[in-house]
Amino acid sequence: MTATNAATAAASDAEARSILERAAAASFPPLHAVHHLLSVGVCVRCIFRMFGAFSHACLCASLTVSFFHSFLEEHDDSAKGGSCSCLSTDEACCSICFGILLPTCHKDEGVVPFDDISRIDIITSMVSQAIQREGYQIDGFSLEISLPAVVAANERAIRLYMKEKYGSENWFKDEIFSQQTMSVKEGLRLLIVPSLEKQLGVKHGDNSFRIRLTYTHDDASLKLKRLLPNDSNRKRKAESREGNDTRRNSTYDDKQTLSETDSFIHKSLEGIQDQEFCSLFELPPEKVSKPCHLVMTFLRSPIYIGGRYLKLSRNVSQSCWIIDDERMGEASVEEIIKESVCAISRGDGYKFHAAGREDIDVRMLGSGRPFLIEVLNVRSIPSAIEIQQISDKINSSEKKHVRIRNLKLVDNEIWAMMREGEAEKQKQYAALIWTSSPLTDDDLQKISVIKDMEIVQNTPVRVLHRRSPLERKRIIHWMEIEKVEGSSNYYLLHLCTQAGTYIKEFVHGDLGRTNPSIGSMLRCRAEILQLDVTDVKMDLLQ
């Protein structure tokens, strides 16, 4: 040990002794109660936590079981001689926190030696290394902690055991040993956040990047689930009372009990009164030799990159379209945009959202259709320059299938606004149509004077295989129609409609399923040859 380390250890020992002497002088906690808690396997940090003094002692590395025992030998006659059962190795797991507040660090087949390094620092160093390994760029973090329900159950068992043993003593009656003290989860947060901030070089708070520490203990959790008073348990007890042999208990499905959620277990525990709890559970709980298993996961809240897209090809779908393992069209808008976005943001996945859709053979022109790419668990949040690079890459493509406008990083409120405005928006179209007989000027005038006409559309025949048969009322806000030069049967129809109107069916009538239609109003057969969306009227992503 170096001189510096020796001096640090000596200072820590002095701090630990000072904490214990102040506690002893105040009879807080009573030394005989502390001695008893140690003997049933409760760790030093849980003792201070349960007596409401955790914040004073949590960062003192020298407050180990062996140091505590040495102090007790000096001040408590019941601990003299070193033969009492409370002395154990510092690597033993706590009967309450299962080693979470005084963690051990296992690697391969052995325990990593700690020397003078804080055990909490080892865990936070592992977290820091994992974040770097996965390539996250962070400016802060929030910490989420998940503990097995058995921790709460064992703490309750210890409290009830101590109440049974010391409930008549004044210190207990004064509620020093109350249930309003800091929880294991809160204690771990107090221990680990400063170390994480130091390791990561950023602050803890309300941040989109979340570190989740999930602690599990399958053996103890399975045992706890077997003790809960559920239907299967009651049935086994009834069978036992009827004289069935104990082998019948082995039919209980272990896998099924392990699949029960901790939230269910917590709820079940809350519904058990103290008297029933004492009859179901061992008091005090048995000592723990195996620590909790820790899994570290990292997750960043989704980011949204939005803009407007133009689709210039009549052979490109909005999303990937595959029928019987065969791709329809050359490409899709979704894939073209996603490829460039994901290459920069390095996310785990994505979701494409658009304000409506057009058929594969319909172009999207004008100002474009609003869209969002929701990127999941990104490793880095793209800068404004990187967003522009995405836009430039798509717009400079030689195939010229898709172009995008006003690409930017947006918040998730845009997604809700897009969904809310989708049904209310208006859309404008330009359609090349053919009629079976030439139209007169009166016919053209008849179409052009129509304003806010209501039509009724049943689900089109062409989409009945994938959409429910419904009757929809839609509004045609206005229309204009003009002849195509050099032809007496071809016309260019401009129209503005309510979102969700089936334009193709409005032209040809869909065997009478859309009424009225262009064909029915003009008393002739009408067919649509080409269709373009020329405007999507939404005040989003302009």
The pLDDT tens digits for 213-254 are 999 998 888 888 888 876 444 444 444 444 444 333 433 344
Q: Could you give phi then psi for residue 168, rounded to 5 degrees? A: -90, -10
DSSP-derived letter for residue 501 is: -
Q: In the prediction, which pLDDT does 113 show?
A: 41
Q: What is the pLDDT of residue 29?
A: 62
Q: How far apart are CA 36 and CA 284, in angstroms?
A: 11
Residue 147's pLDDT band (boundaries 50, 70, 90)? very high
Quick check: 501 pLDDT over 90?
Answer: yes
Q: What is the pLDDT, as a whole number, of residue 244?
A: 45
Q: How far apart are CA 465 and CA 467, in angstroms?
A: 6
Q: 157: which 2 tokens? A: 């068992």
Helix (H) or strand (E) holding 339: helix 333-345
- Nearest by Cα to 346 from 126, 134, 131: 134
- Per-residue tokens: 529: 């040859």
- Residue range 430-449: average pLDDT? 94
Condensed to tens digits (0 to 9), the pLDDT of residues 96-118 reads: 999 898 765 444 334 444 443 46
Q: Tokens 């104990």, residue? A: 246
Which position among 90, 359, 452, 539 bears the catalytic label? Answer: 359
CA 250 to chain centre: 37
Question: Which domains does the chain possess?
Answer: 9-106+113-228+259-299 (no CATH), 302-423 (3.30.70.2510), 426-536 (3.30.70.3190)
Is 359 assigned a catalytic role? yes
| Sheet strands (E) in 76-221 | 106-107, 110-111, 142-146, 209-216
Residue 508 pLDDT grade (very low, low, confident, very high; cuts 50, 70, 90): very high
Residues with Cβ < 8 Å from 103, sequence gap 6 or more? 119, 120, 122, 123, 291, 294
pTM of the model as a whole: 0.76
**Which residue's entry shows tokens 């002088």?**
25
Task: Transcribe 503-542 into DSSP letters.
Answer: HHHHHH-TTTTEES-HHHHHTS-EEEEEEEEEEEE-SS--
Distance linking the first and last C-alpha atoms of the chain: 66
Q: What is the average pLDDT score of the chain? A: 82
pLDDT digits (tens, 9 = 90+) for 16-58: 566 666 655 555 567 778 888 888 988 888 888 887 766 655 6
Which is it for strands 526-537 and 426-435: parallel, antiparallel or unpaired?
Answer: antiparallel
- Residue 107, Cβ density class (10 Å: 0-12 exposed, 13-18 middle, ≥19 buried): exposed
- Taking only the tens place, the pLDDT of each residue in 453-467 is 999 999 999 989 888
Q: What is the pLDDT of residue 23?
A: 57
SS (H, E, C) 450-467: CEEEEEEEECCHHHCCCC
And the tokens for 162?
A: 């101590």
Q: How many residues does the chain have?
A: 542
Query: Out of 22-36, 199-213, 346-360, 462-476, which region has the weakest mean confidence (pLDDT)?
Result: 22-36
Reported confidence tier of residue 12, pLDDT bands at 50, 70, 90 = low
Share of the chain above pLDDT 90, in %: 48
Place of tokens 């069916």: 505
Cβ atoms of 100 and 292 within 8 Å: the answer is yes
DSSP calls for 179-212: TTS--HHHHHHHHHHHHHHHHHSS-BSS-SEEEE
- Decide which of 488 and 493 is more confident: 493
Phi-psi region of 259 (alpha: psi -120 to 50; beta: other; left: phi over 0): alpha
pLDDT band at 257 (very low <50, low <70, confident <90, very high): very low
Dihedral over alpha carbons 490, 496, 500, 506 (to 10 degrees): -30
Neighbour count for residue 1 (Cβ, 10 Å): 10
Looking at residues 431-446, what average pLDDT do you find?
94
The predicted model gives 280-296 an average pLDDT of 90
In DSSP terms, 143 is beta-bridged to 211
> Minimal CA–CA distance to 72: which of 31, 30, 103, 26?
31
* DSSP-based three-state secondary structure for 156: helix
